[in-house]
Structure 1
Amino acid sequence: MTNISPEIEARRARAKEWFESLQTRICAELERLEEEASPELYPEEPGKFDMRPWTRESGVGGGIGGHLHGRLFEKAGVHTSAALARFSPEMAAQMPGADKDPTYVSASISLIIHPRSPRVPTVHMNTRFLSTAESWFGGGADLTPMLDEQRSQDADDAKLFHAAMKEACDAFDPEWHAKYKAWCDEYFYLPHRKEPRGVGGIFYDRHNSGDFEKDFGFTRAVGEAFLDVYSKIVSHRMSEPWTEADRREQLVRRGRYVEFNLLFDRGTMFGLKAGGNIETILSSMPPMVSWP
C-alpha cells in the first residue's frame, strides 16, 4: 500500500484513541442505566456488554464490537473500527481524493440502541475520520421515538435532543446546526413511505473546515452531547409503564427502521462494500419487529 504521511497517521491515531475512549464511557453509562432500571418493569438480570475484537480480512485494522442484550436495552451495539486499506474502483469513484490514490485510513465509532420500553426512544450515533488524498470528518446523531405521541418536533425528548446538538454545533460555528439539522431531516427520510425515520438530529459528511483541530473538537463535542442527552432522556422515560398496544406500535415503527437501514443507509452500504465486520454492521437491526 502507498505510504500514509506521518501527519495523517498521527491524526488517525488520535481519532481512534478518542472513539475508543468514548465507546468505553458510553458502554459504562448504558450498563449503569441497566442496573438502575425498575425490577417491576424490567424483571430480568441487568445486561453487560460483550466486547468482541475483530480483525479486517482485507487491509490492516479491525475494531471492537460492543454488544448488549439487556433488560432495559433490548439490543444495543456500540462499535469502534479503524483501517488502512484500499477502496475498490467502484468506491474510489465516489470518494474525494481516491481518484489520485485509493488508499485510505479511517477510524470511527457507531452505535444503535433499541430499548425494550416503547416509551424510550431508539437512538443512533456515529462519528468518523477518513482520509484519502483528502481528509474529513462525518457522522451525527438522530433520535427515533417509537410512539406517535412522541414523534413531534415539539415533543419534550425531541426538543432536548435538538438543543444538545445545537449547543455542540454552536460552540464551533453558529451556522452549522441549521445546516446539519436540515441535512439530517433530508437524509433520514423514507421516500417510499413519505415520512421521516424519526425526529432527526444532525448529520454531516465530508466535513473539512480547513482546521483539523476545530473539526476534531466539533466531532468530540457531538459525542459528548450525545452521551449526556440520551442518558437524560432514558432516565426520564424508563420508569414509565407501557401497554401491549404501545409495544405493537413500537414493533411496527422498528420495521421502518429496518427498511431505511437496508434500503438507504450509506453507512451500511459502505461497511459491507469496504470489507467491514458483518456482525457489527448489521447490529443496527432490531431484535424484534413486525409489519402490519
Structure 2
Amino acid sequence: MNPDLSLRSLLSGSTLPASEARVLMAHVLDKYYQLPRSALLSRDDMTLSLEANLAWQELQSKRMAGEPIAYLIGKRGFHNIELFVAPGVLIPRPETELLVEIGLREIQRLETEAISANVLDLGTGSGAIALAIAHETPSVMITATDQSSEALAIAATNAKHLGLEARVQFAQGSWYEALVNQVLFDVILSNPPYIANQDTHLTQGDLRFEPISALTDHANGLSCLEVIIQGAKSHLKPMGLFAVEHGFDQSEAVVSLMKAAGLSDIQTHEDLAGHKRVASARK
C-alpha cells in the first residue's frame, strides 16, 4: 500500500515544530511545483511526487540534525529585503536590524542638510547591512568590505538580485585595510565577530554550522571590535557616526574602548530583548 504523501499527512506526521515544517514544505512546493506558500492550506490534499517527497525527507533530516533553516532553503529575510545565504556567511539576525536603523536615522538627518551620505560597512558577510541601507536610501553610496572572498561573492550575488550593484562597492581585506583610497565616511557600521573563542554557544544550535571566523575572533571576543574602534576616527568625517554591534554582555567594555579611542557622544542602544546590543559614537 502506497504511503500517504499528501501535504496534510506529511506535515501532521513531521517531528519538526509546525512552523519549521511549513517553511521547509513551502520551499519544496516552490522548487518542484512553483507554488506559493498559500498552497499549504489551499491544496493540503495535494500529493507529492516521489522526488519531491525525497527532498522533503532530506530537508527534515538535516533540520533534525541541527542545520539552520536559512541554509536549507538558501535564503533569509532581513529588514525588508530577502538575502541569499549559504554556509560561507553568517545568517543575518533580527538584532542586527538595530544597527541598520541607527544608520538610516543618521542618513535621514544628513539628507535634511542636503548631504548624500557616504557609508562604510565593515565585515559585510551576505551584504545584509549595506544592502538593507541601499534598499531604503536611493541616493547613498556604500562601500562594503570583507576578508572572505566567499562572503563577498554571496554579497555581490545579493546586490545583483536586488538591483543594487551600482550603489554598493565591495572590497576585500581585513577591516580598513580593504580600503584603497583615503576616503572619509559619514557613517561607519560593523557587526564583527564578537563571541569569545571558549563560549559554549559556539557548539550549540545554528552556530555549529555557521562560519567560525564570522562568529569569533578566536580570542576574548573584543579584538576585532578594538581594531575597528581604534581606526574609526581616521576614517570618519568630522562629526561622522560610528556604530558597532556587540555581545549582550560587552557594552561596558565597548564603551571603554570608544572612550580610549577619543570618540565622543557615546551612546548605547538596546535590542528588542532589552539587551544593550549596539554602541554608537561620533568623531
TM-score by length of 2: 0.29
Relative contact order: is structure 1 or structure 2 higher (C-alpha 8 Å, sep ≥ 6)? Answer: 1
TM-score by length of 1: 0.29
